[in-house]
Amino acid sequence: MRKDSFSTETLKLVLNKVNQNGAEYQLLDLSNNPLPICYHEESKDMVNVNQATEKVNWADAFILATPDYHGSMSGSLKNFLDYFWSEFAGKTFGYICASHEKGLTVMDQMRTVIRQCYGWSLPYGISIDSNQDFDGNREITSKRVMMRLDSFARDLVVYGGLINEQFKKDLKSTAINNSFAARYRK
Ligand SMILES: Cc1cc2nc3c(=O)[nH]c(=O)nc-3n(C[C@H](O)[C@H](O)[C@H](O)COP(=O)(O)O)c2cc1C
């Protein structure tokens, strides 16, 4: 939600690279599209909630970007995640965290939420430290970080596509009942 957020800035860089790897993307920026607390009376049929839901249903893979708040994700991100469950099944998630302490506990908590919803996670994430990795013009200075952003975008597109394609096949095929996808058939 913070203006000039470094996690959002990093996300935008990665989304460009996602595009270069042949995938389309949509950005859900919770500072432009704030969501009321889940299950609050206001959340029923609210335009912002409907827009978020449309984007979630559209996506085959996700990148969650957050600052490190007390070793965890931001409240606004957790609130967004609380709106969804089965929508995340069979989809792959990658994580970006702006932290001064690597954000490992933050990423673990995002992974736990997604695992609980039968989503898949990339085995590595992006940790960005605004004090070290950006210069005064808010450009990323570290070659190592840029290489990691490159492989993160590439891997999310490739593995996210493969996993979602298989999930959709398993979902459709009534001959296959020994896949976790079977429980998502309507
Ligand atoms: C409420 C709050 C809690 C924070 N807790 C931590 C923390 O536990 N560890 C840490 O490294 N940084 C912490 N920070 C600093 C932010 O994670 C850091 O400034 C980050 O770069 C902000 O990301 P953003 O630019 O995307 O907003 C905290 C900041 C706030 C406002």
The single-letter DSSP state of residue 100 is S
Q: Please tell me if the CB atom of residue 10 comes closer than 6 angstroms to any atom of ligand 1.
A: no
What would the two tokens of residue 133 be? 């990795």
Q: Quote the mean pLDDT of the chain.
A: 96
Cα 42 to middle of ligand 1, angstroms: 29
Q: Please tell me if the CB atom of residue 127 comes closer than 6 angstroms to any atom of ligand 1.
A: no
**Would you place residue 54 in the very low, low, confident or very high pLDDT band (cuts 50, 70, 90)?**
very high
Q: Please tell me if the CB atom of residue 6 comes closer than 6 angstroms to any atom of ligand 1.
A: yes
What would the two tokens of residue 8 be? 């959002």
Report the C-alpha gap between 61 and 137 in whole angstroms: 30
CA 1 to chain centroid, in Å, comes to 15
Pocket test for ligand 1, best of 6, 9, 12, 69 (most atoms within 8 A of CB): 69
What would the two tokens of residue 103 be? 């954000």
Report whether pLDDT(43) > 90: no
Cα 95 to middle of ligand 1, angstroms: 16
User: Ligand 1: which atom is nearest the Cα of residue 70?
Assistant: 8
How do 120-121 and 126-128 pair as beta strands? unpaired
Pocket test for ligand 1, best of 4, 8, 14, 68 (most atoms within 8 A of CB): 68
The closest of 74, 70, 117 to 92, measured between CA atoms, is 117
Report whether pLDDT(45) > 90: no
pLDDT tens digits for range 119-159: 999 999 999 999 999 999 999 999 999 999 999 999 999 99
Cα 103 to middle of ligand 1, angstroms: 9
Give the pLDDT score at 42. 85
